[in-house]
Structure 1
Amino acid sequence: MRIVDPQSAVLSNIEVLAYLTANPPRRPPNPPPNSRHWVPSPDLRDHNTVVKEIHNYVSRLSPHLQSYPQYTHIPLAELEAQAQAQANYHNNSNSNNKDTAASAPPTLLPPKLLNKPTPVDHALRDLVTRLQPYGLTKGEVLMIVNLGIGLIPAAAAEEGEGEEGEEYEEEVVEEEEEGGEGEAGQQLEEMEVDDGATNGGQDAENGGAGSGELAEEDYGAMALLDTVIEEREERLSEADVAGILTIIRETLGGGAAAAAR
Structure 2
Amino acid sequence: MRIVDPQAATLTNIEVLAFLTENPPRRPPNPPPNSRNWVPSPDLRDHNTVVKEIHNYVQRLSPHLLKYPRYVHEGLPQQAETTDQGAQIPPPPPPTEPTPLDHALRELITRLQPYGLTKGEVLTIVNLGVGLDGAAASGDQEAQAEDGADVAMADGDAAGEEAGEEGLADEDYGALALLDTVIEEREERLSNEDVAQILKIIRETLGSGRK
Q: Into which bin does the TM-score normalised by the smaller protein fall?
A: 0.7 to 0.9
> Higher mean Cα deviation, 42-51 or 148-157?
148-157
Q: Offset at 1:155? A: 2.1
Q: Offset at 1:90? A: 2.2
Alignment of 1:107-256 (within 5 A): 108=91, 110-111=92-93, 113-156=94-137, 158-159=139-140, 213-253=167-207, 255=208
CA distance in 1, matches of 2:193, 2:21: 38
Q: How many pairs were matched up?
A: 195
**Alignment gaps of 5+ in structure 1:** 1-7, 95-100, 169-193
Alignment of 1:29-44 (within 5 A): 29-44=29-44
Work out whether residues 135 and 203 of structure 2, in 8 Å CA contact, stay in contact via their aligned partners in 1: no
CA distance in 1, matches of 2:97, 2:135: 32
Higher relative contact order (CA 8 A, sep 6+): 1
Could you tell me the TM-score, scaled by structure 2's length? 0.80
Could you tell me the TM-score, scaled by structure 1's length? 0.66
Q: Offset at 1:153? A: 3.0
2:82 partner amino acid: H
CA distance in 2, matches of 1:214, 1:132: 21
1:122 partner amino acid: H
Work out whether residues 144 and 228 of structure 1, in 8 Å CA contact, stay in contact via their aligned partners in 2: yes
Partner of 2:19: 19
Partner of 1:83: 78
Distance 1:158 1:114, change over 3 A: same
Partner of 1:47: 47
CA distance in 2, matches of 1:126, 1:152: 20
More helix by share: 1
Give aligned-pair identity as a percent.
68
- CA deviations on 1:235-261 (whole Å, 9 max, x unpaired) are 1000000010000000000x3x533xx
1:258 partner amino acid: R
- CA deviations on 1:18-68 (whole Å, 9 max, x unpaired) are 000101122211100011111111110000000000001001100000000
Distance 1:72 1:10, change over 3 A: same
CA distance in 1, matches of 2:45, 2:122: 34
**Alignment gaps of 5+ in structure 2:** 1-7
CA distance in 2, matches of 1:41, 1:245: 48
Partner of 2:5: none
- CA deviations on 1:40-99 (whole Å, 9 max, x unpaired) are 11110000000000001001100000000000111xxx54xx325x4xx428543xxxxx
Q: Partner of 1:258: helix, strand, or coil?
A: coil
Tell me how large the CA RMSD over aligned residues is: 3.1
- CA deviations on 1:128-182 (whole Å, 9 max, x unpaired) are 00000000000000000000000013324645676x69xx8xxxxxxxxxxxxxx
1:154 partner amino acid: A
1:220 partner amino acid: G
